Amino acid sequence: MERLRLTPLSDAIGAEVHDVDLNAAVAEGLFPAIEAAFLDHGLLLFRGQALTPEAHVALSRHFGDLEIHVQKDFLLPGHPEILVIGNDHDETGNPTGYFIPGDGDWHTDMSYVAKPSLGSLFYAVTVPPDGGDTVFAGGTAAYDGLPTAMKERLEGLRAVHDYPYFDANMCAKDPARRPLDESQRARTPPVAHPIARTHPVTGRKAIYLSAEVISGVAGMDDEAGRRLCHELADYATSAPFTYAHRWQVGDLLMWDNRCTMHKATSYDFNSHVRTMHRTTVSGDVPY
């Protein structure tokens, strides 16, 4: 297998991959080495890319099938596998991206479905001069750092990931947000996933949470379950386990949703545009 030149991004998570042009990487036979590094580090950064939507989708497909996001208004025209995330508008004033106001919440992508996403490939098209960073947390290192008693307590505990619950809370905070319609609600019934998730390839356990999406823990009082998830998420997203990424145009980050969490940070969205393209790779039922 080809060897890649890597430098770590932090102690707990991530590596930068140097000297790779992602438009050509698959044709050059680099995918096996990229996938191996992805499994080792949970998060890979490639700087200075000029990635076409076609190459973005083709590279993503090497990891698995791609999700079409439930927020259909923000799929890139001609490339429905790409979700546009951002604050830009078209000439008639309609938003062209899925807008995350202010600081986003820590989450792992699409945790609210029965087979949540394996990973996401996120490409920076336009970035603001300040803010709009994405912060990542390594769930494997956080799990490894738990006391044995807590690891034992988590065995068999399943958090209920509930997108309608999350959406209702988001709509209460942001009156401009359009609530889920009936068909979106029907596609996203609540689903329970283990809090300590085993990675299907590496076999390592990771803390697997999207605290704001979790309405409770199966078999526990809802409030106590949410409190447990928030306490664990606060621990797992504390400084020793995180890496904050300052975006440059042309950055491609790919992350493993099975063992990482992430969140966007705020920026001056009234004065600056931030546009990102995300593909989301389908995954398996967590265990």
Binding site for ligand SIN (CB under 6 A): 85, 100, 104, 109, 134, 262, 264, 276
Q: In whole angstroms, how close is the CB of 218 to ligand SIN at the nearest point?
A: 26
Mode of pairing for the β-strands spanning 196-198 and 205-207: antiparallel
Query: Which residues are CB-contacts of 175 (< 8 A; sequence separation ≥ 6)?
Result: none
Mode of pairing for the β-strands spanning 43-46 and 15-18: parallel
Q: Indicate the residue among 107 and 205 with the shorter CB distance to ligand SIN.
A: 107
For residue 176, the number of C-alpha atoms closer than 13 Å in the C-beta half-sphere is 6
Q: In whole angstroms, how close is the CB of 155 to ligand SIN at the nearest point?
A: 29
Q: Indicate the residue among 30 and 125 with the shorter CB distance to ligand SIN.
A: 125
The label of the residue with tokens 């479905």 reads: 113
Q: What is the DSSP letter of 113?
A: S
Q: In whole angstroms, how close is the CB of 207 to ligand SIN at the nearest point?
A: 18
Q: In whole angstroms, how close is the CB of 109 to ligand SIN at the nearest point?
A: 6
Q: What torsion, rounded to 10 degrees, do the Cα atoms 79, 83, 84, 87 define?
A: 150
Q: In whole angstroms, how close is the CB of 172 to ligand SIN at the nearest point?
A: 19
Q: Indicate the residue among 118 and 154 with the shorter CB distance to ligand SIN.
A: 118
Q: Indicate the residue among 85 and 206 with the shorter CB distance to ligand SIN.
A: 85
Distances in Å between the alpha carbon of 106 and those of 175, 238, 240, 263?
21, 11, 16, 5
What residue spans of the chain are helical by DSSP H? 31-41, 53-61, 139-144, 148-154, 163-173, 182-187, 222-236
Q: In whole angstroms, how close is the CB of 62 to ligand SIN at the nearest point?
A: 21
End-to-end distance of the chain based on CA atoms, in angstroms?
Answer: 30
Do the Cβ atoms of 189 and 125 come closer than 8 Å? no
Q: Indicate the residue among 51 and 146 with the shorter CB distance to ligand SIN.
A: 51
Q: In whole angstroms, how close is the CB of 134 to ligand SIN at the nearest point?
A: 4
Q: Indicate the residue among 103 and 155 with the shorter CB distance to ligand SIN.
A: 103
Q: Indicate the residue among 64 and 145 with the shorter CB distance to ligand SIN.
A: 64
